[in-house]
Structure 1
Amino acid sequence: MNATIADTYEIAMGRWSRRLSRSFLDYVAAPSCGSLVDVGCGTGSLTLAAATRYPKADIVGIDLIPDYLTDALRSSAPNVRFETGDASALPFADDSFDTAFSQLLLNDLDGPAGAVGEMVRVTRANGTIAATVWDRVGGLTFIRLFLDVAAIVAGADGEDLRAQVFDVPYQNEDALFDLWSEAGLEEVDTTTIAVRMDFIDFDDYWQALMGAHSLIRVFYANQPADLAHEIQQATRRAYLGGKPDGRRSLVASALAVRGVVSP
């Protein structure tokens, strides 16, 4: 059976985005009742975490990719509905929500400022706007491990891959602070959230890695067989760290920002 895009995401990142969701919701501190929108909801990690935490809230998850919004996801919680739509042109009226948040989206958009502007537009005065993104350069250890190996073993091609994966607009808290401030939000605050990424063994790690980023998959698939094998074995040695294969727990960090819509 061919894996769907939702299956691939769940293997590579879904389990970690669910773990991140819990800490991110602590930071957002949304009202326990009211209306919330999860922009770029993907397979629903944050949406469903919010539904569990706020059973009296009305929660909407929206994503541009309909394949993420499976039938099982759509029927997963009574206080949630899912819609297909563009983060840069949200299909909601002004002042529709009390809180708007987004997890692991902004660094994958061509125009993040437009999406933030839309979140502000659809949120009522004094409502909260919040977002979090992986700290790719400084805190996404499981990807960094492979990228450093690729840069050493594959030379310039590996260095180019590392640069492309790390070439994201928001690489620190200051950049997110500026984005929120420029959107006219008040009481802007930032933080770094740390989570653990636990792998059963190297095979589990490798499967997650190959689903984590399209550039990594394409790079590895295009390598000559002998070089691909060398990269994989060098990555395995780095994962093992001189110990027998088995469970490893790697730290990952995410950058988060929140602000309040001005009255």
Structure 2
Amino acid sequence: MTERRFDVWAVGGAYERYMGRWSRLVADEFVAWLGCGGGLRWVDVGCGTGALTAAVAARCRPELVVGVDRSAGFVAAARTAVAEGPAWFAVADGSALPVRDSMCDVAVSGLVLNFLAAPGAAVAEAARVVRPGGTVAAYVWDYAEGMGFLRRFWDAAASLDPSAAGLDEGRRFAVCDPERLRSLWAEAGLVDVAVAPLEVATVFAGFPDLWEPFLAGQGPAPGYVAALAPAARDRLRAALCEAVPTRPDGSIALTARAWAVRGRVPE
């Protein structure tokens, strides 16, 4: 199987139920960690359905926040989600931002770097549009160890289909650990680099609440599920149901960890 074949991010509603609800939680943690003041100009690289843009608009009183994503469907969803406030959106690639040099005070990116062909080039491009002394920051899921529901999904999938191990984000994506993030920021010429973990609770009302988003085809794991024959899909459903910790009321409480990084453009 071609790995990138399953990396589909296009339908805002499907993404929201699969990952967006957790993205909003970690976006709030990230913005609080940054601690930026009001009246600044921001760019959100790979804004998706607007979770991080909305957190910036709500918490940081920005002069302007520009959300950029290469998916027209996600940009449309973001425009709807962040209808109020000083936000502007564009369909564009993170390696070619429609922003002038040094125009912004802060460039951020949420959960995107591992899905870019050249993450280092995207960090350098973000640094280009930030003024000297400004901040470039991002966060990524800790796919290898910190994403409870995805870890259990891929372990269950690989137990039934050894080829699934090659699609596991924890194996595929290198940019999901502190040292790699530090290196990317240093390679882009950023200084005063700091990395920190961000952890949020992922509580599912019941197994259907966990399983059904995997049927929508948005992202590597749902893309894999969509490609399975019905009988294989049923076996995976049963294996995953057996693997997750279910509480007496039927709910499933797990956690998701992201790694956040920030650095400053030299003055």
TM-score, normalization by structure 2: 0.89
* C-alpha distance after superposition, 1:193-228 (max 9, x if no partner): 111111111001012334475432343344344333
What is the aligned counterpart of 1:143 among 146, 150, 156? 150
Question: Aligned residue for 1:189?
Answer: 194
Task: State the SS of the aligned residue for 1:69.
Answer: helix
* C-alpha distance after superposition, 1:137-175 (max 9, x if no partner): 111111110111111122x2233333x663112131010
Question: Aligned residue for 1:59?
Answer: 65
Question: Aligned residue for 1:238?
Answer: 243
Deviation for aligned residue 1:32: 1.4
Question: Is the 8 Å Cα contact of residues 41 and 103 (structure 1) preserved in structure 2?
Answer: yes
| 2:163 pairs with 1:157 | yes
Question: Aligned residue for 2:117?
Answer: 110
Task: State the SS of the aligned residue for 1:47.
Answer: helix
What is the aligned counterpart of 1:220 among 214, 221, 225? 225
Question: Is the 8 Å Cα contact of residues 202 and 245 (structure 1) preserved in structure 2?
Answer: no
1:234 alignment partner AA: A
CA distance in 2, matches of 1:114, 1:140: 26
CA RMSD, aligned part only?
Answer: 2.0
Question: Is the 8 Å Cα contact of residues 186 and 262 (structure 1) preserved in structure 2?
Answer: yes
Task: State the SS of the aligned residue for 2:40.
Answer: strand
What is the aligned counterpart of 1:11 among 14, 17, 21? 17
Question: Aligned residue for 1:35?
Answer: 41
List gaps (5 residues or longer) in structure 1. none
* C-alpha distance after superposition, 1:27-84 (max 9, x if no partner): 2222211211111101100001110112353111111111112275276122111111
Question: Is the 8 Å Cα contact of residues 61 and 81 (structure 1) preserved in structure 2?
Answer: yes
CA distance in 2, matches of 1:215, 1:75: 26
Structure 1 stretch 93-102 or stretch 224-233: which is displaced more?
224-233
Question: Aligned residue for 2:6?
Answer: none
Task: State the SS of the aligned residue for 2:244.
Answer: helix
Question: Is the 8 Å Cα contact of residues 41 and 62 (structure 2) preserved in structure 1?
Answer: no
Question: Is the 8 Å Cα contact of residues 141 and 251 (structure 1) preserved in structure 2?
Answer: yes
Question: Aligned residue for 2:3?
Answer: none
What is the aligned counterpart of 2:54 among 48, 51, 65? 48
Structure 1 stretch 126-135 or stretch 23-32: which is displaced more?
23-32
CA distance in 1, matches of 2:142, 2:215: 19
CA distance in 2, matches of 1:115, 1:252: 25
| 2:87 pairs with 1:80 | yes
Question: Aligned residue for 1:253?
Answer: 257
List gaps (5 residues or longer) in structure 2. 1-9
Task: State the SS of the aligned residue for 2:145.
Answer: helix
Question: Is the 8 Å Cα contact of residues 11 and 211 (structure 1) preserved in structure 2?
Answer: no
- Total equivalences in the alignment: 257
TM-score, normalization by structure 1: 0.91
